[in-house]
Amino acid sequence: MKKLFVASLILSLSGAVFAAEPTAQQNKMKTCNADATGKKGDERKAFMKECLSAKPAAAEAPKLTQQEKMKKCNGDATGKKGDERKAFMKECLSNK
């Protein structure tokens, strides 16, 4: 009877753990992981390190989707060409 009680207690506690809301860090990891799509090796490692260590954005600045960010950066890059544009776009798209 004691073993049955312990087993049911363990099962009920494990269910509560899996039903818990994700933490802020888990949400941040999910977002950074999605933003790192297409990056590999050292580039991905560096991106994830920077992304996960970044401070949360200010409340008044809404988070842009990747498509919105690309549109904004393209508009801001008007007049830039070649390596200058490439460097600008890399910096702009990596900003949160």
Higher per-residue pLDDT: 66 or 82: 82
Please give the average per-residue pLDDT across 55-60, as a whole number. 56
Spatial CB neighbours of 77, under 8 Å, sequence gap ≥ 6? 85, 88, 89, 92
The reported pTM is: 0.39
pLDDT of residue 59 exceeding 50: no
Which range has the top average pLDDT, 14-18, 38-42, 62-66? Answer: 38-42
